[in-house]
């Protein structure tokens, strides 16, 4: 697709997979070195197996930590032409993804008893809160909601909440409110229109990303991006393993195509970014070519071909 759109970008391609015996520390280091050099990356799903094999932190987690990709951003937006229970949604979920419950600090203190540590720090809580308010300011959004469970986890989530409140005072033009995570999930299903930008710790963000993706069509249609002070990584917004779709040519490529478009926009290739995103949205709006997750029978290849045809009506003729 990028070739069809004549995108002036050269890729350094690497394969990293924990389920196809294509992962090792050496390959992970190669990927990280390449990303450090280019500063920008487009990555697919790095599936993490359930089994414990001597290393608690997955390759995905280690990649994010080594590059300090602290902010995960998922823009959940309804797609014109695809009807869901809630239409015309437009909200952003910002997740801190270098600490919290995903710290990979687990141990068996005594036989049959596992302790799993949740790490919340003032520095990283303030950093993600500031990122959320800066994002809202830059994108012209009016409200930030801090999502937490401080009523139960009074110290950990209490610290996160206080940091958000402190940062909010520095942005008087942005409305600020707070919501407990369980209520947030219910409100997202009942009335998602009340939300604009949501900021939250790691685990909550992982859950809410997927919940919100389900409101607009599922994991196959929502793009995501992760940022550090130096690097930008573009990826799928919802962490669905897609194990049942591997090798069957049935996966919905929309999320990856929109992520590629967002990457081009980040690189100031606005024309090419719009060319691709407009073509993807045109195919979905047309309703004739849809993958199984959207109720159709088209293959991944069918969808990509239709997008290419939308880029250039006479391409391949």
The mean pLDDT values, 10 residues at a time, for the chain of 317 residues are 90 76 76 94 77 66 91 96 93 96 88 94 98 98 98 97 98 98 98 98 96 94 96 89 69 94 97 96 93 91 94 55
Helix residue ranges per DSSP H, 14-155: 25-38, 59-66, 122-138
| pLDDT for res 240 | 65
**Does residue 10 belong to any structural domain of this protein?**
no
Number of domains in the chain: 1
Residue 103: give the domain boundaries: 83-216
**In this structure, are residues 33 and 304 in contact, taking their beta carbons and an 8 Å threshold?**
no
Residue 97 falls within a domain, yes or no? yes
CATH of the domain at 180: 3.40.718.10
Helices (H), 39-155: 59-66, 122-138
| 147, part of any domain | yes
- HSE-CB of 242 using CA atoms within 13 angstroms: 23
Q: Which two tokens stand for residue 109?
A: 């203190």
Residue 74 lies in a domain: no
Q: What pLDDT is recorded for position 316?
A: 44
**Contact, 5 vs 273, CB < 8 A?**
no
**What does the block give as tokens for 72?**
């995960």
- Residue 243 pLDDT: 60
Task: Specify if 172 maps to a domain.
Answer: yes
pLDDT at 20: 59
In a domain, 17, yes or no: no
Those residues with Cβ within 8 angstroms of residue 138's Cβ, 6 or more apart along the chain or in another chain = none
Q: What pLDDT was estimated at residue 159?
A: 98
State residue 45's pLDDT score. Answer: 79
Does the residue 158 lie in any domain? yes
| 225 within a domain of the structure (yes/no) | no
* pLDDT at residue number 52: 58
């Amino acid at each position: 697709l990028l070739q069809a759109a004549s995108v002036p970008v050269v890729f350094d391609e690497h394969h990293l997979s924990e389920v196809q015996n294509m992962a090792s520390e050496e390959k992970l280091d190669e990927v990280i070195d390449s990303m450090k050099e280019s500063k920008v990356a487009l990555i697919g799903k790095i599936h993490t197996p359930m089994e414990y094999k001597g290393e608690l932190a997955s390759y995905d987690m280690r990649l994010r930590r080594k590059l300090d990709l602290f902010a995960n951003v998922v823009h959940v937006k309804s797609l014109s032409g695809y009807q869901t229970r809630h239409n015309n949604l437009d909200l952003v979920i910002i997740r801190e993804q270098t600490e919290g419950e995903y710290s990979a600090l687990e141990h068996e203190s005594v036989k049959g008893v596992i302790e799993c540590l949740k790490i919340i720090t003032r520095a990283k809580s303030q950093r993600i809160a500031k990122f959320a308010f800066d994002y809202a300011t830059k994108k012209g959004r009016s409200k930030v909601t801090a999502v937490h469970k401080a009523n139960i986890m009074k110290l950990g989530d209490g610290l996160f909440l206080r940091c958000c409140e402190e940062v909010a005072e520095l942005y008087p033009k942005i409305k600020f409110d707070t919501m407990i995570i369980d209520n947030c999930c219910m409100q997202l299903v009942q009335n998602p229109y009340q939300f604009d930008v949501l900021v939250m710790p790691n685990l909550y963000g992982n859950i809410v990303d997927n919940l919100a993706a389900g409101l607009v069509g599922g994991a196959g249609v929502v793009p995501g991006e992760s940022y550090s002070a130096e690097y930008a990584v573009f990826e799928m917004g919802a962490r669905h393993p897609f194990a049942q779709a591997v090798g069957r040519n049935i996966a919905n490529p929309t999320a990856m195509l929109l992520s590629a478009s967002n990457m081009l926009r980040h690189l100031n290739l606005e024309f090419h970014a719009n060319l691709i995103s407009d073509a993807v949205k045109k195919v979905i709006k047309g309703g004739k070519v849809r993958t199984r997750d959207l109720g159709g029978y088209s293959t991944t290849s069918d969808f990509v071909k239709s997008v290419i045809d939308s880029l250039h009506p006479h391409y391949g003729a």
